[in-house]
Amino acid sequence: MLVVMKHGASAAEIDAVVSVIEEMGYQARPMPGAQRTAVGLVGNDGRVDSSRISALSGVAQVIHVTQPYKQVSREWRPENTVVTIAPGVDVGGKEVVIMAGPCSVETEEQIVLAAHQVKAAGAACLRGGAFKPRSSPYSFQGLGEVGLKYLATARKETGLAIVTEAMDEQGAELVAEYADCIQIGARNMQNYSLLKFVGTLGKPVLLKRGLAATINDLLLSAEYVLASGNKDVILCERGVRTFDPATRNMFDLTAIPIVQQMSHLPIVADPSHGTGIRDLVTPMARAAVAAGADGILVEVHPNPERALSDGAQSLYPDQFAELVGELRTISAAIGRTLTPAPRTATVAAG
């Protein structure tokens, strides 16, 4: 940590900063400059709370050198974490995992049909929301537990692993019961009570980046889950808010190689929410895999014009099948392969 003093800070002010640093149990190293003096704090273990120092008289700025997160960092664990969602579905290894399905679970027929379609096209996981965070209280909010039961049926019929969102503690317990991976949505990325709770449920967590979250914020939110005892966290880039209304969000694919440098956790990308427009999903899914994503989360609906939510960004099943073919070639170009769709349904194995 570096404490930059104001130009013209007095010797007494500099001494006060040194004293507080030493009182906190660290070493202080003053560095006089031509314009202003800086004081280095040596020995920071990542837990120094800078607020006390920022508040001191004569301090212009406190600059953090040490990252505030620990367990999620590459420095804590140099090798990649591989999160196993279901047998054969490993996120963070050499394989790229395709997760696909409708925005919302609408009926049993719809989700089972969608599951068969995305499996036929090459997906390894089924996505679909039973709890839907909608900006208006008057929009369709999802089927709740009934939707989770339909997802479980779809898994039984296809063998696809299930990823679905939870919005609160009660919902998270249900998702943990019926599904394979608990998704935490962008709006709840800094719902720390929920993050702590899902850290205790013993299921993989897919954590989406918030609309205004820096990559640092995303990693800090993941740290909450790890600090609660759950190492199986998959990060997800899904677009952030910027000034350009051309798309719903700005899809920040550079986050993928940055996260891979800073953290050992796997990261997937969601080009459907990342762009919000069907025609953009295919090129951006290709770009995400080329950038090194460990997986792709794509909205596919048997009948987008009849979708209860997000129809405009859902692919038609045949568009999706074509996309999977392209992703297979691009994966090969960078030395990876796609996780194969499940051979047979779980039920058939029984």
Length of the chain measured in residues: 350
Residues 147-166 within binding reach of its own copies (CB under 8 A): none
Residue 339, SS3? coil
Scanning residues 131 to 150, which ones bind its own copies (CB under 8 A)?
A: 133-140
Smallest gap from residue 343 Cβ to its own copies (A): 26
254 lies in the site for its own copies, by CB under 8 A? yes
Residue 335 Cβ, how far from its own copies at the closest point, in Å?
Answer: 10
Tell me how crowded residue 348 is: count the other CB atoms within 10 A of its CB: 12
Q: Could you tell me which of 130, 210, 132 has the C-alpha nearest to residue 176?
A: 130
Applying CB under 8 A, the span of 156-164, 229-237, 256-264, 342-350 interacting with its own copies comes to 256-264
CA distance 19 to 242: 43
Cβ distance to its own copies smaller for residue 145 or 157: 145
170: helix, strand or coil: helix
Q: 61: which strand partners?
A: 4
Q: How far is the CB of 315 from its own copies (least distance, A)?
A: 11
Q: For its own copies, which residue of 77, 312, 322, 346 counts as binding (CB under 8 A)?
A: 312
Strands 95-101 and 89-91, sheet pairing: unpaired
Q: Which residue of 23, 51, 343, 344 would you call a contact of its own copies, by CB under 8 A?
A: 51
How many Å apart are CA 180 and CA 139, to the nearest integer? Answer: 27
Identity of residue 96: V
User: Where in 280-309 is the site for its own copies (CB under 8 A)?
Assistant: 280, 283-284, 286-292, 304-309
Pick out residues in 176-235 that bind its own copies (CB under 8 A).
187-188, 190-194, 196, 210-212, 214-217, 220-221, 223-224, 227
**Which residue from 46, 88, 93, 144 is in contact with its own copies, where contact means CB under 8 A?**
46
Query: Which residue number, 152 or 211, has a Cβ lying nearer to its own copies?
Result: 211
Stretch that binds its own copies, among 39-47, 90-98, 108-116, 145-153 (CB under 8 A): 39-47
Q: How far is the CB of 99 from its own copies (least distance, A)?
A: 19
Q: How many residues make contact with its own copies (CB under 8 A)?
A: 117
Query: According to the binding rule CB under 8 A, does residue 334 interact with its own copies?
Result: yes
Task: Take residue 317 and report the two structure tokens written for it.
Answer: 């099943």
Name the phi and psi angles at 172, rounded to 5. -65, -35
Specify whether the CB–CB gap between 295 and 96 falls below 8 A. yes
Which SS3 state, helix, strand or coil, does residue 47 take?
coil
State the minimum distance, in angstroms, from the CB of residue 126 to its own copies: 20
Site for its own copies in 59-118 (CB under 8 A): 59, 63, 65-70, 74-75
Give the nearer residue to its own copies in terms of CB position, either 118 or 345.
118
Q: Of the candidates 284, 283, 225, 235, which has an alpha carbon nearest to the alpha carbon of residue 261? A: 235
Kindly report the number of other CB atoms within 10 A of residue 190's CB atom: 16
- Considering the rule CB under 8 A, would residue 36 count as an interface residue with its own copies? yes
Say if CB 60 and CB 5 are below 8 A apart: yes
- Residue number, 77 or 149, with CB nearest to its own copies: 77
Minimal distance, residue 334 CB to its own copies, in Å: 7
Task: Name which of 247 and 346 has its Cβ closer to its own copies.
Answer: 247
The alpha carbon of residue 136 and the mean position of all alpha carbons in its chain are separated, in whole angstroms, by: 24
- Which of 146, 333, 347, 348 is in the footprint of its own copies by CB under 8 A? 333
In the region spanning residues 261 to 280, those forming contacts with its own copies, defined by CB under 8 A, are 261, 274-275, 278-280
What is the distance between the terminal CA atoms of the chain, rounded to a whole angstrom? 58
Q: Which two tokens stand for residue 334?
A: 């960078």
Question: Given 3-state DSSP classes, what are the helix, strand and coil percentages for the chain, each rounded to the nearest 5?
Answer: 40, 20, 40
